[in-house]
Amino acid sequence: MTYASTSGLSSITVLLVTLLVVDRDYRERGLAKGLLNQLKKDGVDLYGLMSSHPAACLAAAKAFGDSISTVQLEIISKYARDIIEASPINYVKDAKLCGNVFATSDISGLVSSVNSEFFVDHTEPLEAFAWAQEEMEWPLGDLLDGHEFLLILEARRRSRSRSTSRPGSSGT
pLDDT for res 172: 47
Identify the pLDDT of residue 102: 96
Query: Which residues pair with residue 50 across a beta bridge?
Result: 150
Chunked in runs of 10, what are the mean pLDDT values of the chain (172 residues)? 50 86 86 88 89 93 91 96 90 94 92 92 84 88 93 77 48 48
The pLDDT of residue 164 is: 46
pTM of the model: 0.82
Q: What is the dihedral of CA 4, 16, 59, 73, to 10 degrees?
A: 90
Q: Rounded to the nearest 5°, which phi and psi values hold at 105?
A: -80, -5
Cβ pair 142, 108 in contact under 8 A = yes
